Structure 1
Amino acid sequence: MPGPEVLLYGLPLAFLAGFIDAVAGGGGTITLPALFFMGLSPAQVVATNKLLAIFGSASATVQYWRKGHVERALVWRLIPLALAGSALGAYLVHFVDPDAFRTLVGVVILGVGALVLTNKRFGLDDHYPGLTPRVLALTLPGALLIGTYDGFLGPGTGTFAMFMFALAGFNLVRASGNARTINFATNLGALLFFLIGGQMVWWIGLPMGVANALGATLGARMAMLRGSGFVKVVYAVIVLLVSARLFLVH
């Protein structure tokens, strides 16, 4: 078991992860390697990461919610499906080869990033039409799939959710607000599951969670202040980081 000195780098990394995650998702690409580097077992890493992530996702959700950047009527319909998908993903991990799935997701997320970046106006304008049949046909199964991915593998869940909401017509700031809310729900569901397993390292997860929440608060406020153009730049960086982790880390 590591000593308290690991928090000297764990806290600033958790803060940075919270900032990035609140803007464009992908904070786990920073915290997961940090926890592994501390010497925790794989089970402890996954459980402790969910513990600290719930702080950041909750903090970001509150910020976006207060400023009206969460489409509540839509999100409330999606949360149950995301939670069901998260449970399904945790079940499927026992039957599907995660390495093959990781490579497939890496290819998909690179394609998503390319689409976002090559379309100069994608996600910059808000033209959400409301709860139309097209929006529901996209987001209802999308929430189930995103929740399943989060329960099965995890990295880039918020990034995928942002892309789904942008396709539904939201600008990237509102897409980020909606995605953070969905991500908070799936994190909460996973947290309850991991509480039963008893693998959380509380003395690491709690202080890193507070740092993650502070970073998420700053990130959400920066995203709302700077707008969708800023979010798009951070999104591009996160796509590359998540893809690299999926391809290179096994």
Structure 2
Amino acid sequence: MLPIGPEVLLLLVLAAFVAGVIDSIAGGGGLLALPAILLAGAPPVTALATNKLQGMFGTASAALHYARAGQVEPRSQAGPALLAALAAGGGALLASHLPAEAIRAALPLLLIGVALYFGFRKGLDDEDRAERMASPAFNATAVPGLAFYDGVLGPGTGSFYMMAFVSLRGYGLLKATAHTKLLNFASNLGSLLVFAFVASPWWLVGLCMGAAQFAGAQVGSRLAVRIGARMIRPLLVVVSVALATRLLWQAWSG
């Protein structure tokens, strides 16, 4: 039985489709999806769990298309993806015991930093550059660290992954986007498995939104592969600033 009316469900499905397009290119789809679920009347924990459910379909869709387009080799990410799932599950499990308010207060500054990095750093395109951190060290530190954050809070995880791949691994923007999606899917899955036990997701709503996320992510990932950094870079800046603005407004009004 649906906890909401069909007209509200239709609006949530539309929001999920748009979120899927945006998230597959630059991350930050939760900027649209999570507030929409909250506005539909879901309690906060239920909204977080439902958002993880529907977002999982979008990241899976984008990861699948990027793999088919030859932008990422899924087998090479199997180990890091497992680490991401475990770390995100741990983050979701321990969320109530962490100083979430302090982390939430620092988020707008971090996101503005992401926007400034991608907006003003010269030479950012689809070409790879020299790495600053080797793959084993990156997989052992940045991947589980960001996945743990995704399990605890979540906003901006995709953008943070992008920045890590570009600044530490030296990836071009399109390659960084492609490698972000499977890890983001894994962290969504890991945290959802925990939320399924400690929360009550709107399963049917999440699945309907997930179908729209899947379709939107197919559209967005195709655009990203076709256009590359010319689309990814400005959208990253816009999404990061928008998410930071929303979090600042939320803190101010709260």
TM-score by length of 1: 0.92
Check conservation: 1:18, 1:215, Cα contact below 8 A. Answer: yes
Partner of 2:142: 142
2:57 to 24, 39, 55: 55
- 2:207 matched residue in structure 1: 206
Change (3 A) 1:198 1:102: closer
Alignment match, 2:160:
160
Q: What amino acid is aligned across from residue 229 of structure 1 in structure 2?
A: R
Deviation of 1:14 after TM superposition, in Å, equals 0.7
Q: How does 1:181-192 map to 2 (within 5 A)?
A: 181-192=182-193
Q: In the TM superposition, what is the alpha-carbon distance from 1:5 to its structure 2 partner?
A: 1.4
1:34-113 to 2 correspondence within 5 Å?
Answer: 34-72=36-74, 74-113=76-115
Contact 1:19 1:217 in 2 (8 A): yes
The DSSP-based 3-state class of the residue aligned with 1:93 is helix
Q: Which runs of 5+ in 1 are unaligned?
A: none
Residues 22-71 of structure 1 deviation map (CA, whole Å, 9 limit, x = unaligned): 00100001000100110111122111111111111111110001111114
- Tell me, in whole angstroms, the C-alpha distance in 1 between the residues paired with 2:94 and 2:196: 20
What is the CA-CA distance between 1:191 and the residue it aligns to? 1.9
CA–CA distance in structure 1, aligned partners of residues 32 and 209 of structure 2:
12
Deviation at 1:74, TM superposition (A): 4.8
Gaps of 5+ in 2: none
Deviation at 1:171, TM superposition (A): 1.0
CA change 1:206–1:73 in 2 (3 A) is closer
* 1:178 aligned residue: 179
Instruction: Give, in whole Å, the separation in 1 of the partners of 2:198 and 2:94.
Output: 18
The share of aligned pairs that are identical, in percent, is 35
- How many Å apart are 1:151 and its aligned residue? 0.7
Q: CA deviation at 1:203?
A: 2.6
| Cα deviation, residue 2, structure 1 | 2.5
Please say which of residues 26-35 and 72-81 is displaced more in the overlay: 72-81
Q: Which amino acid letter does the alignment assign opposite residue 134 of structure 2?
A: R
1:149 partner amino acid: Y
* Deviation for aligned residue 1:133: 6.0
* Alpha-carbon contact 2:111-2:240 (below 8 Å) kept: yes
Q: Distance in 1 between matches of 2:224 and 2:250?
A: 29
SS at match of 1:94: helix
Partner SS, residue 96 of structure 2: coil
1:116 maps to a residue whose letter is: F
Q: Please, what TM-score do these two structures have when normalized by structure 2?
A: 0.90
3-state secondary structure, aligned to 2:101: helix
1:156-182 deviation digits (Å, cap 9, x = unpaired): 111111111112111111111100010
Residues 1:220 and 2:221 aligned together = yes
Deviations 1:173-202 (A, max 9, x none): 111110001001111112222222451112
